[in-house]
Structure 1
Amino acid sequence: MKGRRQATIIEIIKKYDVETQEELREKLLERGIDVKQSTLSRDIKELRIIKVLSKNKRYIYAISVPNSDIKKEKLLGIFSNSILSIEKVDKFVVIKTLPGSASAAGEMIDQLDFFGIAGTIAGDNTMFILLREEEEANKLVEEIHKIIND
């Protein structure tokens, strides 16, 4: 539940200009996630979400630049807790996630900067990863299994 909630928080912040915790809480409720203010506050802290000045001169939540080991560790936690299945089809890797978690999983794949990835596309609960070579797709599946099984 926590992984799905935190993945949804990341998705919302990337998609909308969210100014307050209450506004974020309402957007979570719209997606069927009821969360207490104290829990939301902890999630914001754990995910290292910051406030930045928007183009409209208002402060909004933003995902901080991923450069800390702590953030990477949290993203790895969300990633490993949200994956339901992984399948390789030729040069593609298809990952099924919990509802609302595919974009967060895609962000983690992008952050890990695996060799040979031509691109990723993430929907609500499915992510497609195109690799340049079929052998690279096999290696990616192996690496993802290592991550989620640790």
Structure 2
Amino acid sequence: MNEDQLILDLVANRDLDTQSALLDALKDSGLNMTQPVLSRLLRKLGVRKIGGYYRPPAPNRPAFPNLKYFLSPPNLIVIKTLPGHANALAYHLDALKLRAVAGSVAGDDTVMVAIAKGSKIGEVHEMLRRIFEGDGRPE
């Protein structure tokens, strides 16, 4: 496995929240590098922080047209989508492993998103909107 593949594998399968933690994981896997080199590789590979952790670039994200968001403070967001799309949306959301999201429950056209303790519903709403209607990234 080359260094690019190793980095992508580590960020896909571990919750690494700092470059230092990623450097330690690389070292444990037998690969030593400096932080500036790692930083350049992360940029080249499209690795970004999502939900506080480094994650590989998003694959072609599924399209979720016509989403409507309903906020129910303090910790619930309801997302309405087209019939049959809710399970795919919830699966995609759960796969992101966002710290701000405690979990989700999907029906046929509705996803209920539970907000994690300490997270602000408005900020999570904007993050979800960017993920599903923007470029697929919460940043």
Task: Tell which has more relative contact order, 1 or 2 (C-alpha 8 A, sep 6+).
Answer: 1
Higher radius of gyration, 1 or 2: 2
TM-score (norm 2): 0.49
